[in-house]
Structure 1
Amino acid sequence: MNQTAARRYSTGAMLFHWAIAIAVIVNWRIAEAAEQAEMPAKAEIFANHKALGILILVLTLGRLAWRWTHPVPPLPNDLAKWEAVLARTVHIIFYVLLIGLPLGGWLANSMTGRDIDFFGLFTIPPLPVGANKDLGGSIFDMHALGGTIFLYLIGLHVLGALKHTFFDKNGGIFRMLPFGKVPE
């Protein structure tokens, strides 16, 4: 393996990263559209949000399995200690949110007596929890707050990738793309 390949993420990691990134952005836009809609269209739009959330959960679990079985390239050598700590912290929070947000949504749906229709292919049954509309509503509120926090962290992540690519010139975004220059 050449040095550039060792500094770049594997093809599988790239596929998971970009599939999840696109799905998260689309799911955010679906949630925004649902919030602006009136019933019954609102429920139909949220059905897609819920199904895509479950798909994001499955993709994230696949990405974690991939990460545990494939080497991750080291962070660039020129990062300040605080940048390396911030990068690792944000990535950990990403995984927590990528798992926690779909599970929280599923839990809240379960507590409010709703199944999750997976794009008309099959129905995901409620989790085996008791009905509690008030707690379910509170979990939906935390889900929305978590989604907002996630958006800010995504912005920070993108800004960091752009900084490392265009100012530090250490490969930045090209570490997660199959093209571009990644310095040795």
Structure 2
Amino acid sequence: MSANSSSRYSTVAIIFHWLIAILVIVNWRIAETAEHLQMPEKAEVFGNHKALGMLILVLSLGRLAWRLGHKPPPMPEQASGWEKTLAKAVHVIFYILLIGLPIGGWLASSLTGRPIDFFGIFTIPMLPVGENPEAGKAIFDAHATGGSIMIYLIILHVLGALKHSFIDKIPGLSRMWFGGSR
């Protein structure tokens, strides 16, 4: 059976999925922690959040490129129409957020005159937008809201996978886990 006709995702897709998922959750926790700190420690922790966000952006673009070139497995036939529609919508929103949130953070950082230090390895330059602290703050606020939406969608996604696997007895978790037969 070819990778395209398999009921499981490819190994590359699985690696992208879990790596990005872990990094998103870690990055959310970093942001939550930073919110409760005082300057200059707050800025330092947010610096790590921004660097990790840029890594998530690169990995998400790689994942999207992989997905465009490698058709994912079909949804299980046992899934209802509304579940298939909801799953597709959630995946589209995930891609929008995985790409849009880091770009929004980069834009807001640029508008507030702050380049992004990538873990001391190199500096990601500001976007050529000029400084506008008010616009930067508004985008940071939208970024935070988008981050909250991402967390709610992750919860929905996990609950759906658990429901399919343990209640409906439809392979859900095994489609996106390592090992097993294709």
1:113-132 matched pairs, under 5 angstroms:
113-132=113-132
Q: CA deviation at 1:181?
A: 8.0
Runs of 5+ unmatched residues, structure 2: none
Equivalent position of 1:7 in the other structure: 7
Q: CA deviation at 1:76?
A: 0.5
Following the alignment from structure 2 to structure 1, what is the Cα–Cα distance between the partners of residues 112 and 170? 49
Equivalent position of 2:48 in the other structure: 48
Following the alignment from structure 2 to structure 1, what is the Cα–Cα distance between the partners of residues 22 and 133? 32
1:29-178 matched pairs, under 5 angstroms:
29-178=29-178
Aligned AA for 1:113?
G
Q: Compared with structure 1, are the counterparts of its residues 168 and 122 closer, same or farther at alpha carbon in structure 2 (3 Å cutoff)?
A: same
Q: CA deviation at 1:70?
A: 1.5
Task: Note if contact 1:113-1:126 (Cα within 8 Å) is conserved in structure 2.
Answer: yes
TM-score, structure 2 as length reference: 0.96
Following the alignment from structure 2 to structure 1, what is the Cα–Cα distance between the partners of residues 18 and 37? 29
Task: Note if contact 1:51-1:116 (Cα within 8 Å) is conserved in structure 2.
Answer: yes
Task: Note if contact 1:174-1:181 (Cα within 8 Å) is conserved in structure 2.
Answer: no
SS in 1 for 2:51: helix
Percent identity between the two aligned chains: 65
Q: CA deviation at 1:164?
A: 0.5
Following the alignment from structure 2 to structure 1, what is the Cα–Cα distance between the partners of residues 141 and 153? 19
Following the alignment from structure 1 to structure 2, what is the Cα–Cα distance between the partners of residues 130 and 106? 13
Q: Compared with structure 1, are the counterparts of its residues 32 and 68 closer, same or farther at alpha carbon in structure 2 (3 Å cutoff)?
A: same
Runs of 5+ unmatched residues, structure 1: none
TM-align CA RMSD: 1.5
TM-score, structure 1 as length reference: 0.95
Following the alignment from structure 2 to structure 1, what is the Cα–Cα distance between the partners of residues 21 and 133? 31
- 1:37-83, CA deviations, whole angstroms, 9 ceiling, x for partnerless residues? 11111011000000000000000000011111112100000111110
